[in-house]
C-alpha cells in the first residue's frame, strides 16, 4: 500500500472520527442482550476503505481497535481488540475489495451487503470460540444466544452502519478528494 502524507493524515482523521463516534454514540440494539451495543465507529472506517482501498481500511481498523481496547472496551481487553479487528477488518476488506472492482452505486450497495453477510457469518464461530474460552461463558449459553441475540445484533449493526455509510460517503468523499485535488494543483504550480 503506497502511502503519502496527505493520505496518512486523512486516515488519521477518519480514525479519530471513528473513536469519537464510539465514545459519544453507544446503545444496546437487542433488549435481551444489553451488553451488545451499537456504535457507528465502522462508518469512517468503511469510508476510508472505499476511498483508499481495503488495506487502508484495515490499517484504520487496527488503530481504532487498539485504542478502543485501551479505552471504551477496556473490560474485554485484547479479546475485544482481536474480535473487533476480525469483525471490522472482515467488513472493510470484503466491502473495499468489491467496491474497488465495481466503483458504482450498485457496487457500493453490493459491497456493503456482502460485508454485512460475511461478518454476520464470521461472528458465529468467533463468538463460539472466544466467549467460552476467554470470557468463561458456557458454550451452550453462547449457542442459545446465537439466534435471538448475536446474529440479529451483527446484522442490525452492520446494516445501520452500511446505510449511514451509503448516505454520507459521497459528501465526505467529495470533501476529502477536493483537498487532494487542491494539493495536486498546488504541487503542479510549484514544479
Q: Kindly report, residue by residue over 7-61, the tens digit of the pLDDT.
A: 999 999 999 999 999 999 999 999 988 989 999 999 999 999 999 999 999 999 9
Q: Which of 162, 4, 157 is nearest to 92 (CA)?
A: 162
Q: Does residue 60 lie in a domain region?
A: yes
Domain containing residue 163: CATH number: 1.10.1760.20
Q: Does residue 30 lie in a domain region?
A: no
Output the pTM of the full model.
Answer: 0.90
Q: Does residue 189 lie in a domain region?
A: no
Q: Does residue 140 lie in a domain region?
A: yes
Q: Residue holding cell 472493510? A: 92
- Give the total number of structural domains in the chain: 1
Q: In the prediction, which pLDDT does 2 show?
A: 57
Question: Which grid coordinates belong to 149?
Answer: 441475540
| pLDDT band, residue 181 (cuts 50/70/90) | low
Q: Does residue 175 lie in a domain region?
A: no
Provide the sign of the torsion angle of the four alpha carbons 61, 64, 68, 69, taken in this order: positive
Question: Which grid coordinates belong to 175?
Answer: 470533501
Q: Does residue 101 lie in a domain region?
A: yes
Q: Does residue 177 lie in a domain region?
A: no
Average the pLDDT over 138-166 and give the result: 97
Residue 114 in contact with residue 94, Cβ under 8 Å?
yes
Cα 87 to Cα 102: distance, rounded to the nearest angstrom? 23
How do strand 27-28 and strand 37-38 relate by DSSP bridges? antiparallel
Find the domain containing 150 and state its range. 5-23+36-168
Q: Which of 122, 190, 163, 151 is nearest to 29 (CA)?
A: 151
Average the pLDDT over 176-181 and give the result: 73
Q: Does residue 83 lie in a domain region?
A: yes
Choose the weakest-confidence range: 9-13, 132-136, 139-143: 132-136
Long-range pairs for 171-178: beta carbons < 8 A, 24 or more residues apart:
172/47, 173/47, 173/50, 173/51, 176/10, 176/51, 177/51
Amino acid at each position: 500500500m503506497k502511502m503519502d502524507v496527505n493520505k496518512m493524515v486523512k486516515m488519521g482523521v477518519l480514525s479519530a472520527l471513528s473513536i469519537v463516534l464510539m465514545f459519544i454514540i453507544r446503545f444496546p440494539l437487542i433488549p435481551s442482550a444489553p451488553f451488545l451495543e451499537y456504535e457507528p465507529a465502522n462508518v469512517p472506517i468503511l469510508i476510508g476503505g472505499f476511498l483508499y482501498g481495503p488495506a487502508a481500511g484495515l490499517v484504520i481498523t487496527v488503530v481504532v481497535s487498539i485504542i478502543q481496547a485501551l479505552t471504551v472496551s477496556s473490560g474485554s481487553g485484547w479479546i475485544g481488540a482481536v474480535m473487533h479487528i476480525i469483525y471490522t477488518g472482515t467488513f472493510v476488506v470484503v466491502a473495499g475489495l468489491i467496491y474497488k472492482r465495481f466503483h458504482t452505486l450498485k457496487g457500493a450497495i453490493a459491497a456493503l451487503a456482502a460485508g454485512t453477510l460475511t461478518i454476520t457469518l464470521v461472528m458465529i464461530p468467533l463468538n463460539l470460540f472466544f466467549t467460552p474460552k476467554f470470557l468463561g461463558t458456557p458454550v451452550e449459553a453462547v449457542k442459545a444466544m446465537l439466534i435471538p441475540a448475536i446474529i440479529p445484533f451483527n446484522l442490525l449493526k452492520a446494516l445501520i452502519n452500511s446505510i449511514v455509510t451509503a448516505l454520507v460517503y459521497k459528501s465526505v468523499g467529495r470533501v476529502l478528494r477536493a483537498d487532494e485535488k487542491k494539493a495536486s494543483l498546488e504541487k503542479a504550480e510549484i514544479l
